[in-house]
Amino acid sequence: MRYDAFGNPLRGLQGPVRFPLGFAGGLFDADTGLTRFVWRDYDADTGRFTALDPLGAKGGDRDWYGYCVDDP
């Protein structure tokens, strides 16, 4: 499976998906369209997580919903 910089699947480049492995090793949930990580879900359409970063400011990102300091 191939993805763009924010985790959107690049369609047409791979065969049918037979396992729920999502972007960056998360588990893709086909019902919600989100990629599940241990503590929160990631929405590739917005490039953001759906919940606050549980590390808060210690995670190094001022945008606590962001991904990779908005620079994948």
In a domain, 72, yes or no: no
**Cβ 54 vs Cβ 40: under 8 Å:** yes
In a domain, 9, yes or no: yes
pTM of structure: 0.65
- Report the domain count for the chain: 1
Q: What is the pLDDT of residues 1-26, one digit of tens each?
A: 677 777 777 766 455 556 677 778 89
Q: What pLDDT, on the 0 to 100 scale, is given for residue 36? A: 93
In sequence order, the 6+-apart residues with CB closer than 8 A to the CB of 68 are none
**Cβ 59 vs Cβ 52: under 8 Å:** no
In a domain, 43, yes or no: yes
Q: What is the pLDDT of residues 20-54, one digit of tens each?
A: 777 788 998 888 989 999 899 999 888 888 998 88
For 34, the domain range is 1-67
In a domain, 18, yes or no: yes
